[in-house]
């Protein structure tokens, strides 16, 4: 379609100091308007204190076919989790 506004992905940081989180997307002609639209659509009930927008075409994503090579290697490395190690109860909380 010609003259369609580009798509932006919207990230919002909530009240409690957590990282910005992806909340959805919207169309806007430019970044400034995208932020204003994001304010109107995604923060009408105090959902956030900060907004990031990025044009969707600038996001690079892993592809589902890479799922195996990318994520399987970590499956076998259970020693990376604290629960792998038995610590005697006498030692106390660790």
Contact positions vs other proteins (CB under 8 A): 1, 3-5, 7, 24-27, 29-30, 33, 40-41, 44-45, 61, 63-64
Q: Would you say 70 or 87 has its CB closer to other proteins?
A: 70
Q: Would you say 4 or 86 has its CB closer to other proteins?
A: 4
Q: Give the shortest CB-43-to-other proteins separation in angstroms.
A: 11
What string of DSSP letters covers 27-70?
A: E-SSHHHHHHHHHHHH-TTS--SEEEEEEGGG-----GGGHHHH
What whole-number distance in Å separates Cα of residue 28 and Cα of residue 39?
12
Q: Give the shortest CB-75-to-other proteins separation in angstroms.
A: 16
Q: Would you say 29 or 87 has its CB closer to other proteins?
A: 29
E-assigned strand segments in 1-94: 7-13, 21-27, 50-55
């Amino acid at each position: 379609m010609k003259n369609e506004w580009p798509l932006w992905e919207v990230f919002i940081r909530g009240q409690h100091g957590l990282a910005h989180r992806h909340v959805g997307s919207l169309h806007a002609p430019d970044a400034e308007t995208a932020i204003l639209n994001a304010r109107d659509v995604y923060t009408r009930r105090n959902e956030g204190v900060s907004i990031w927008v990025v044009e969707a075409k600038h996001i690079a994503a892993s592809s589902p076919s890479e799922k195996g090579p990318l994520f399987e290697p970590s499956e076998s490395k259970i020693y990376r989790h604290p629960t792998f190690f038995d610590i005697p109860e006498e030692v106390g909380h660790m």
